[in-house]
Amino acid sequence: MNLTLQVWRQSGPASEGKLTEYQATDVSPEMSFLEMLDVVNEKLAEKGDLPIAFDHDCREGICGSCGMMIDGVAHGPSRGTATCQLHMRSFTDGDTIVIEPWRAQAFPVIKDLVVNRSALDRIIQAGGYISVATGGAKDGNMIPIPKLDSDSAMDAAACIGCGACVAACPNGSASLFTGAKVSHLGLLPQGQPERYRRALRMVAQMDLESFGGCSLFGECMEACPKSISIDVIARMNRDYVYASVSAVEERALGGEG
């Protein structure tokens, strides 16, 4: 099939960007979206033109590198799918596809479709971990964890940090990302000692970066390639409110709060 692409081209962080039109010809429905872009890029390079820059790495939907707005939808039309796993069979011959970078104040454009997502790393730095140093851990089976808790923690931990939730949110909020980590660790017994302090600090960092607030639109959940539920945001809010009213910042708590 043949497609018309309208691609956002921007040479650097400080430059103006604009949509530029390209033709993608002889596209096979078995191709992934990124393979379709590879072919376009190779033709550009053959002519000595600058290929379209986009982040990508594992191309199996787990590293979280890739991500673009495809016709205004984060990661494109297939639900629960990262851009690298989107296949061209989702499109029809003659389609025009508009491709843009993540649009969010907290994700400045570096070049073309590549954005700076380091704010997400800084949210993790604020508390998205359990403070155990290497060595000295007791036997893994000394901490029995109900299967349901472990499964729910895993559901939240499946987040790949791609930033689609932020890009999809009308407010540019990172609540699904942050809530997923707060929930993953907060659901496990190992995560209890730092549970409230973690929620407070991660939310504070999220506010410090240029992310917006959450109005529970739920767009994030629709865009999430791992279909993480907005229940994690409710859980984060609960922990955050509890921590705020009880001023537990520096006090270690055990068990369910």
Partner 1 sequence: MTVNLNSRVPAGPLTEKWDKHRFDVKLVNPANKRKYTVLVVGSGLAGASAAATFSELGYNVSCYCYQDSPRRAHSIAAQGGINAAKNYQNDGDSIQRLFYDTIKGGDFRSREGNVFRLAQISVNIIDQCVAQGVPFAREYGGLLANRSFGGAQVSRTFYARGQTGQQLLLGAYQALEKEIAKGGVTMYPRSEMLDLIVVNGRARGIVVRDEITGKVEPHLADAVVLATGGYGNVFYLSTNAKGCNTTAIWRSYKRGAAFANPCYTQIHPTCIPVAGEYQSKLTLMSESLRNDGRVWVPRRKEDVGTAPGAIPEADRDYYLERKYPSFGNLSPRDIASRAAKEACDDGRGVGPGGRGVYLDFADAITRLGEDKIRERYGNLFEMYERITDENPYKVPMRIYPAVHYTMGGLWVDYNLMSTIPGLHVAGEANFSDHGANRLGASALMQGLADGYFVLPVTIGDYLASNRLEPVSVDAPEVKAAVADVQARTSKLLSIKGKRTVASFHRELGHIMWEKCGMARDAAGLHQALEMIPKLREEFWQNVTIPGSGDDFNQTLEHAGRVADFLELGELMCRDALHREESCGGHFRVEHQTPDGEALRNDEQFAYVAAWEFAGEGKAPLLNKEPLVFENIKLSQRSYK
Tell me which residues in 157-216 interact with partner 1 (CB under 8 A). Answer: 157-158, 160-161, 184-185, 188, 190-191
d(CA 211, CA 257): 28
Q: 106 burial class (0-12, 13-18, 19+ CB within 10 angstroms)?
A: buried
Q: Decide: 70 and 86 in contact? Cβ < 8 Å.
A: yes
d(CA 112, CA 120): 20
d(CA 67, CA 56): 8
The residues in 137-156 that bind partner 1, with binding defined as CB under 8 A, are: 137-141, 143-147, 150-151, 153-154
Our finding on whether 254 is near partner 1 (CB under 8 A) is no
Q: Which is nearer to partner 1, 150 or 215 (CB)?
A: 150
Tell me the window of 30-38, 164-172, 231-239, 246-254 that interacts with partner 1 (CB under 8 A): 30-38
Q: Which is nearer to partner 1, 1 or 62 (CB)?
A: 62
The bridge status of strand 109-111 relative to strand 3-9 is unpaired
d(CA 48, CA 208): 42
Our finding on whether 125 is near partner 1 (CB under 8 A) is yes
The bridge status of strand 109-111 relative to strand 96-100 is unpaired
Tell me the window of 63-71, 91-99, 235-243, 247-255 that interacts with partner 1 (CB under 8 A): 63-71
* 114 beta partners: 111
Our finding on whether 39 is near partner 1 (CB under 8 A) is yes
Shortest approach of partner 1 to residue 205 CB, angstroms? 10
Pick the closest to residue 5 from 45, 42, 33 (CA basis). Answer: 33
Our finding on whether 255 is near partner 1 (CB under 8 A) is no
Shortest approach of partner 1 to residue 69 CB, angstroms? 18
Q: Which is nearer to partner 1, 62 or 253 (CB)?
A: 62
Applying CB under 8 A, which of residues 85, 173, 178, 183 lies at the interface with partner 1? 85
